[in-house]
Amino acid sequence: MELRRAADQAFLGKIGNGLMRIRTELIAIIILMAAVWFLPVEAKQGLMALFITKAMFVTLGVLYAHASRKFLFPYLDMEGLIKEHHWGGVAFLTAYYGVVIWAFAVGG
């Protein structure tokens, strides 16, 4: 993203532009937080456990995918593949990461 105005290049301008780019996500998070506020205590505990475990499993999936890719396919470098226009390798790594992370996220 090119910053054309001097105000956009300033620190507060960059923060403002960053917030404007993710405003939909911020609004969704605020709405979800407001909805959670009105839930009973028991439901909040279950909901927080779900958020924590899902985040943990996805994070573990990312870590496992990266470590296993480095071990199994050390010759495949995403940056090099993109620069050399080897789209088959890029598609393979994208699918590999996606499948491993998905498998961890669904718990199996």
Give the largest Cα separation in the chain, rounded.
55
Cα angle for residues 22, 25, 31 (degrees, 5° grid): 140
Tell me: do 8 and 49 sit in the same domain.
Answer: no
Surface-to-core class of residue 61, CB atoms within 10 Å of its CB (0-12 exposed, 13-18 middle, 19+ buried) = buried
pLDDT of residue 1: 53
Cα of 106 vs its chain's centroid, Å: 16
CA dihedral 60, 65, 71, 74 (to 10 degrees): -140
Tell me: do 59 and 94 sit in the same domain.
Answer: yes
Domain membership of residue 22 as a residue range: 1-38
Cα angle for residues 59, 28, 100 (degrees, 5° grid): 25
Tell me: do 11 and 44 sit in the same domain.
Answer: no
pLDDT of residue 6: 64
Q: Please write the tens of the pLDDT for every residue from 34-80.
A: 887 888 888 888 888 888 888 888 888 889 998 999 899 888 888 88
Q: How many domains does the chain have?
A: 2
Q: Where residue 5 falls among pLDDT bands split at 50, 70, 90?
A: low
- Two structure tokens written together for 108: 């199996």
Q: Please write the tens of the pLDDT for every residue from 14-23.
A: 788 778 888 8
Tell me: do 67 and 79 sit in the same domain.
Answer: yes
- Helix, coil or strand: residue 3: coil
Q: Please write the tens of the pLDDT for every residue from 73-98.
A: 888 888 889 999 999 999 999 999 99
